[in-house]
Amino acid sequence: MAVEELRDFLRKRCQERGLSLRSLSINAGLSHGTVHNIITRQYLPSIFSLNRLADYLGVKRQYLWQLAGLLTDMDYSEKTTLSDPQLRFQFAQADKLPEPAKKLLVDTMRALINYFQADQSTPETIPDN
């Protein structure tokens, strides 16, 4: 199970740095209960929690997402690029937005992708801007 890999990684990092779970949670800006649940239970953390932990521990966010099982069967390497220039431009613009706006965009994109994958059809009426 992917959550086990995440727990093992977090435990190892805490041991290497001489951190308690409480210190890890405080330094990462998370509640003690959140970190405790991630490490001691089969609890799938939110992207927000994973991002905070990754930022504090100095690892790539995608690495923790992968350990948590959120990126299965996908290529998220540094060399992955967007082939569509419009997408590259829009994502570059989105990257400059404040975190709450980025979160809203990611949540919206996730919902749209899930919708279109479930429908397996491409909408014909979405305007091309």
Task: Give the C-alpha separation, 57 to 6, whole Å.
Answer: 13
DSSP code of 18? T
**pLDDT above 80: residue 16:** yes
* Same domain assignment for residues 53 and 19: yes
Within this chain, do residues 16 and 62 fall inside the same structural domain, yes or no? yes
Does residue 124 sit within a domain?
Answer: no
**DSSP E strands: which ranges in the chain?**
none
Do 51 and 6 share a structural domain? yes
Indicate if 56 and 104 belong to the same structural domain: no
Q: How many domains does the chain have?
A: 2
Q: Is residue 80 part of a domain?
A: no
Please tell me the distance from the alpha carbon of residue 52 to that of residue 29, in angstroms, as a whole number: 7
The answer to whether residues 56 and 8 belong to one domain is: yes
User: Are residues 93 and 60 part of one domain?
Assistant: no
Q: Could you read off the pLDDT of 52-90 as tens digits, one per residue? A: 999 999 988 888 888 887 776 555 555 566 777 888 888
pLDDT tier at 127, thresholds 50, 70, 90: low
- Boundaries of domain holding 34: 2-67
Judge if 51 and 7 occupy the same domain.
Answer: yes
Based on the fold, state whether residues 25 and 63 are members of the same structural domain: yes
pLDDT at 36: 86
pLDDT digits (tens, 9 = 90+) for 32-44: 888 888 888 767 7
Q: How far apart are CA 50 and CA 61, in angstroms?
A: 7
